[in-house]
Amino acid sequence: MTEKTVHNAVMVEETMLVLDVKSGGHYLDGTLGGGTHTEELLKRSKPDGHVISLDVDRSALARATARFAAYGEHWNGIEANFRHLASVAEQENLAPLDGILLDVGLSSDELENSSLGISFQKDGPLDMRLGPKSNDDGLTAAEVINSWTQQDLETVIRTFGEERYARRIAAQIVKARKSARIIRTLELVSVIRSVVPHTYEGGRIHFATRTFQALRIVVNDELQALKDAIRGAQTVLKPGGHLAILTFHSLEDRIVKLAFTGTEAWEPITKKPMMASEEETKENPRSRTAKLRAAIKK
């Protein structure tokens, strides 16, 4: 029996509005996750629309296959990183597309899956790949932690985690791994805890949040994947097609903002990113950091 998703999608109505979903349209959801956005795309493009959903998480694809069986040939689920959306759309003969959606945040299903090793609150292997096709080189967080130089670790944690204590965390990792390899998530949490202040960020966020974010970004090559996806979208969207992207931290949002405003290829739909409503943030605290930007292909 396929497990149900525990993920609550963010800003569903807003994403559908900026995508301007129409009956009979061709759409691609590059980040299937819990399937809520895909379901809305299917409903609003009926009766003869077509939707392709990508994910590297096989359990997400398995859930969706059962959930969307009634849509038959109008839906396809593909195991692929969203950075390859252009080649998938062409292989599936769906290009040119009317709209593309990317929700590049983590899903609750992924955080709950301790075997992925991306949660600092659950013990699991230090892997952090979101699926077998998350990266092209098989890199894991354990490999980064146990073999990269102290300088490289510091750079990664500071750059991708925006962590002010990157230097002392990197130094402590190198010190700790001399005694034994760090291979479990809670082992890494313990290392971080030993060198950051007890009053870390005034208790606003968990002290391991930024380090874990940095490692996950590096392992899954998330920022470059986002850049690749935006470039790919430009090639497979029809003129006037819409691209909507939900981001959850400043590094991602910066990439999207620059892509939409720093080129003649896109016409931004709004000058500023859309944010979740007060009502939604109360019901789903995760939506507080969400930013939605959308643009039309010129």
CB atoms closer than 10 angstroms to residue 75: 23
Residue 257, pLDDT score:
96
Six token digits for residue 233? 């979208």
185-188: long-range contacts (C-beta < 8 A, 24 or more apart)? 185/114, 185/117, 185/119, 185/120, 185/122, 185/123, 185/124, 185/125, 185/126, 185/212, 186/120, 186/123, 187/126, 188/120, 188/126, 188/145, 188/212
For the chain, list the domains and their CATH numbers: 12-109+226-297 (3.40.50.150), 136-220 (1.10.150.170)
Specify the pairing of strand 50-55 against strand 26-29. parallel
Six token digits for residue 170? 């990197």
**DSSP characters over 171-193:** HHHHHHHTTS---BHHHHHHHHH
Residue 259, pLDDT score:
95
Which pTM does this prediction carry?
A: 0.90
Bridge partners (DSSP) of residue 274 are: 292
pLDDT in 10s for each residue of the chain, 298 residues: 345 555 578 999 999 999 999 999 999 999 999 999 999 999 999 999 999 999 999 989 999 999 999 999 999 999 999 999 999 999 999 999 999 999 998 766 666 777 788 899 999 999 999 888 888 788 999 999 999 999 999 999 999 999 999 999 999 999 999 999 999 999 999 999 999 999 998 888 999 999 999 999 999 999 999 999 999 999 999 999 999 999 999 999 999 999 999 788 999 999 899 999 999 998 988 888 999 999 999 9
How far apart, in whole angstroms, are the C-alpha atoms of residue 208 and residue 186? 10
Residue 115, pLDDT score:
76
Q: Quick one: 28 exposed, middle or buried, by C-beta within 10 A (0-12, 13-18, 19+)?
A: buried
Q: For the chain, how many helices (H) and strands (E)?
A: 13, 7
Residue 140, pLDDT score:
96
How far apart, in whole angstroms, are the C-alpha atoms of residue 226 and residue 215? 16
